[in-house]
Structures are given as C-alpha cells and as structure tokens.
Amino acid sequence: MSHVLFVLTNHERMLNGEPTGLWLEEFAVPYQQLRAAGHEVTVASVAGGAVPVDPNSAVGEEQVRAWQDAIDQLSDTPAFDTLDTTGYDAVYLPGGHGTVFDMPYNRKLHDLLFAFEKSGRVISTVCHAPAVFAGMRQADGVPFIQGRRLAAFTDSEEHAVGGAEKVPFLLESRLKELGAEHEATDDWQPLAVQDGKLITGQNPQSSAAVAEKLIAALQQ
C-alpha cells in the first residue's frame, strides 16, 4: 500500500466573477481508483477548509451516490502545508479552473513538488492543474517544466468552453513558452503522458488514464 497526497484548489471565481473551483470528475475518479487499488489517500487543499466544486462539473444523483465517499472529503480539508508530507509516495493535483488562480505562484506548493521530485516520488496532475508548473523555476531560473513531456488542457478546449477571457493565461500556450514538450489529442479525448515520475493528463476525460499510470508507477 502506498500513500498518495491530493492537493485541491480553493479558488472559486473566474476573472469575470463566474463561479469555478474543482472539477469533480478529476478528483472523484482517481480517488476511487486509488482506493480500490489498495492505496491510502489524504485529501488536502491549497488553503484548507471546504473545497468549491465547479458547478459545470455537477453530476446526477446516481453519479453522486457512486462518488459519495470521495465527495464527503471536500467539506473540510487540511491545508497541504500543515501536513508532514515526507511519508507520501506520490502527489496528485486534480484540475478545475480554480487551479489556474491559486497554484501557479504558490511558493509553498512549488517547494512541495520540488521535494517530491528531489526524492524520486511521483508528481501527477490533470487538465488545468499543470498550471502549477507555470511559476515553478529551478534555483538557476530554468523553468521546472522545460524539456519535459506533458499533457494539459489545450487552448482549443479552453476556447471551446468559453474560458479564454476568464483565466489569467492560456495553459497550453504558457507551458510551451516555458519550454514544455506539450502533447495533445483531439478535444475531449483522453490522453495521459508519463515522463519519468511526472504524469499528466489533458482534460477531464483523461482522469482515469492518469490514475492508471499513477497506480502503475506506485507498483514499480
């Protein structure tokens, strides 16, 4: 059994005031897959407390019941920086537009990810959550993501959902500017990319594929 730390967004408004937050599927699907595989999951968030869920990711009553054990974790989460994270084997950041606001320039969160990388532990993200890499730089100023293969929510998908004017930056474009080797498939099709201990996914449809790669990496 491995221990996986989830870090979720707490940001709940787009630039235009529209409600946002965590994309529920990107949290619930990997949570349940990891638990079903026998791994222990700790759910934390950037600031602690309740985690806002993007209303656009709402699901029907039947799906809510199926995900209830995951959803129950969202009402009161610890802030990630209050935890001793040395015993975790992997960290996973689910997306939602909220992550583009409270993760790219959070130094404590960046330090956490650098610590996981330095110790050879798995870092995994999906959809908008690779935005965390937008502000991460090595001590010499080189972007964390430079030269690394990854997937993330594409500019095409952002335009398709009408989000381009509501976020601080277009994620695909920003990651490419920082030297990432961004990979993509068609809009709304699943894609998970693994580059060493870094696992990323393109969109909500990629959540299960990211979780599968994460589970496989934990078995190595």
Mean pLDDT of 170-181: 98
pLDDT of residue 189: 98
Question: pLDDT per residue over 88-113, tens digit each?
Answer: 999 999 999 999 999 999 999 999 99
pLDDT-derived band at 24 (thresholds 50, 70, 90) equals very high
Q: What is the pLDDT of residues 51-80, one digit of tens each?
A: 999 999 999 999 999 999 999 999 999 999
Q: What pLDDT digit, counting tens, does each position of 26-35 carry?
A: 999 999 999 9
| pLDDT at position 46 | 98
CA 156 to chain centre: 19
Domain 3-218 annotated CATH 3.40.50.880: yes
> What are the residue ranges spanned by the domains of the chain?
3-218
Structure tokens that stand for 124 in this block: 């995994």
Helix (H) or strand (E) run with residue 201 in it: strand 198-201
Bridge partner residues of 143 (DSSP) = 137
Confidence of residue 127 (pLDDT cuts 50, 70, 90): very high
- pLDDT value of position 80: 98
How far, in Å, CA of 135 to CA of 144, rounded?
Answer: 8
Which pTM does this prediction carry? 0.98
The whole-angstrom separation of Cα 152 and Cα 183 is 8
Rounded Cα distance, 9 and 12, in Å: 8
pLDDT at 115: 98
3-class secondary structure, 148 = coil
